[in-house]
Amino acid sequence: MDLTALSGDGLYLWAPRGAAGSWGLANCLLITSGDDTALIDTPYDERMTRALIAAADRTLPAGAPVRTIVNTHANGDHCFGNAFFPGAEIISSQASLERHCREISPQQMQYLVHASDPANPLGWYARERFGAYDYTGITVVPPTVTFNGSYDFQVGDIEVRLLEVGPAHTAGDLVAHLPGQGVVMAGDVIFEGDHPVHWEGPLAEVVRAAEAVLALDAEHIVPGHGRVIGPDGVRAYISYLRDLEGEIRERHGRGLGAYEAAADILAGGFHPHLGAPERVVMLTFIEYHHLGEATAPIEMVDLATQAARWAYTHHHATVAAG
């Protein structure tokens, strides 16, 4: 796989694609100017990261290493690849650094995918969605430079402005704005092509973060996953979030439990063209938590367990129906 030029000289997009509903295939942006190079987000495992490095070697001048890495947030599919860029400065928000302790580690992922019980919904789901990844030997490398609010730096002649927009997808989200190129690297505050997952919430805060992206008036917005979109794509995403917030709150008002509410939303055909419908279950549990339901789980494994329950049930019902 090669890098794709984006919006003029010096910007190259790494945009892995998979089947609808895939996990872990995050967009990364290589920025190069003169003898300086930066990378926004790193891939999920060693194989993917080595492939990106090989593509960068075919693109960059000989002997031009990646000197700076920006992590938009602490999820592993945006930062596990840090380990394969020794000596690089790694920038993220202070809240993102503090979030690392809540993230699922490479070792936990390796167990879930390759050693857990496949007859259990979570074990089945981990293999179905993450079975292509190998987390062996990955060391989590946290940021070396952190900030609150905003942080600007140069990559040669290219200005990069980092803006903290979390809590939204996670507690410490940032977006990277390249004003001279009309580009925003939005991380996972914006998804395209699939239902999103947001670990922090509530949805109103994700809307606020997406509106902050829109306010930057960029022509090209790179979501954490999916195709590059424009402002209209961001507006459509905001509309999706508001629709889902309304659906969840209506069912909460009727006294439905979180899982029952999510299943009911999906049974009603909520945005059926999008992949990964089980993520609606996660979003519903997060929203219920913020609505004061103290029993609604918010830890990542707990949320994944609820999503896996729905996906497992739906899959086997579909198979049984022929």
C-alpha to C-alpha distances, 95 to 77, 99, 168, 237, 241, nearest whole angstrom: 18, 6, 12, 25, 23
Q: Could you say which DSSP state residue 270 is in?
A: S
Mean pLDDT on 146-167: 98
Q: Which bin fits 175, alpha (ψ -120 to 50), beta or left (φ > 0)?
A: beta
Q: Can you give the pLDDT at residue 181?
A: 96
Q: 223: which strand partners?
A: 187
Give pLDDT, residue 61.
Answer: 76
Q: DSSP labels for 288-312?
A: HHHTT-TTS--SHHHHHHHHHHHHH
Tokens of 93: 């928000």
Using alpha carbons, select from 236, 226, 312, 241 the residue that is nearest to residue 280: 241
- pLDDT score of 318: 67
Confidence of residue 63 (pLDDT cuts 50, 70, 90): low
Distance in angstroms (rounded) separating the CA atoms of residues 130 and 54: 23
Q: Considering its fold, how many domains does the chain have in total?
A: 1
DSSP state, residue 85: S
- Measure CA 268 to chain center: 26
Full domain range(s) for residue 239: 4-321
> At a CB cut-off of 8 Å and minimum separation 6, what does 103 contact?
74, 75, 76, 140, 300
Residue 89's contacts (CB-CB under 8 Å, 6 or more residues apart) are 67, 68, 69, 144, 145
Q: How far is CA 8 from the centre of its chain?
A: 25
pLDDT one-digit tens code per residue, 287-313: 999 999 766 558 899 999 999 999 999
Residues for the chain: how many in total?
322
Q: What is the pLDDT of residues 11-41, one digit of tens each?
A: 999 999 999 999 999 999 999 998 899 999 9
Tell me the two tokens of residue 40.
């926004």
Q: What is the pLDDT of residue 60?
A: 85
Q: Answer whether 185's CB lies under 8 Å from 175's CB.
A: yes
User: Which stretch of 102-111, 153-162, 230-239 has the lowest confidence by average pLDDT?
Assistant: 102-111
Task: Express as a percent the part of the chain with pLDDT over 70.
Answer: 96
The CATH number given to whatever domain includes residue 95 is 3.60.15.10
CB atoms within 10 A of CB 47: 11
In the block, residue with structure tokens 């580009």: 183
Which among 228, 184, 199 is positioned nearest to 74, based on CA atoms?
199
Count CA atoms within 13 Å of residue 34 on its CB side.
8
Q: Do residues 10 and 31 lie in contact, with contact meaning Cβ atoms separated by under 8 Å?
A: yes
